[in-house]
Amino acid sequence: VRQDWLDRLGLQPPETIDDWHNMLKAFKEQDANGNGDPNDEIPLMTDYSAYPSFADAWGIHIHPAGPRWIEEDGTIKFSPIDPRFKAYLQTMHQWYEEGLLDKEFLTRTDPDLERMAFTDKMGSGQHWVGYMAGYNAREDANKVPGFNFQVVAPPVLNQGDTPGTFRQQS
């Protein structure tokens, strides 16, 4: 998440799915990059392989190559038929419809993410932690005043929930 955008808007790093929604809306509606154009920000940008990371908040595991089985309380469950999967999809659909999730996320590649980050358009991203954490050290980051990407904990549904880590283990 762009810490400099959070600071500009007086926001705290997101913890819950609701926090994420509120942050993304603020990024979209309040000129988070401060360039005077409130319509040029992409609140959440990812490539096709990373968007399932939010499913962890619902305690389910999905993967771009296909859904996954989960073990819960000694029972094996198939994520797509779990009611939490529908709730996750409804939330992602809502974010997409509200313009909070990049409309082109299915076709984005690493160079697209980098271009949008270093032209001050991307407020948050989902990718491997080490990949995005390295953005601050890139020479291109010096071209964006205040550029500061920070890693945040995986989102949870409710304050106090323990973050899931399926994506980090797959």
CA 44 – CA 101 distance, rounded (Å): 5
CA 37 – CA 25 distance, rounded (Å): 15
Radius of gyration of the chain (CA): 16
| Tens-digit pLDDT profile for residues 82-118 | 899 999 999 999 999 999 999 888 888 888 889 999 9
**Comparison of pLDDT for 62 and 78, the residue scoring more:** 78
Query: Is the Cβ–Cβ distance between 33 and 41 less than 8 Å?
Result: yes
Query: Has residue 12 got a pLDDT over 80?
Result: yes
State the pLDDT confidence band at 170, using cuts at 50, 70 and 90: very low
Name the burial class of residue 32, with classes exposed (0-12), middle (13-18) and buried (19+) by CB atoms within 10 angstroms of its CB: buried
Name the burial class of residue 76, with classes exposed (0-12), middle (13-18) and buried (19+) by CB atoms within 10 angstroms of its CB: exposed
pLDDT at 166: 53
What does the DSSP assignment read for 29-40?
Answer: HTTTT-SS-TTS
pLDDT at 51: 65
CA 126 – CA 19 distance, rounded (Å): 16
Per cent of the chain over pLDDT 70 is: 91
**Comparison of pLDDT for 75 and 63, the residue scoring more:** 75
State the pLDDT confidence band at 169, using cuts at 50, 70 and 90: very low
pLDDT at 44: 94
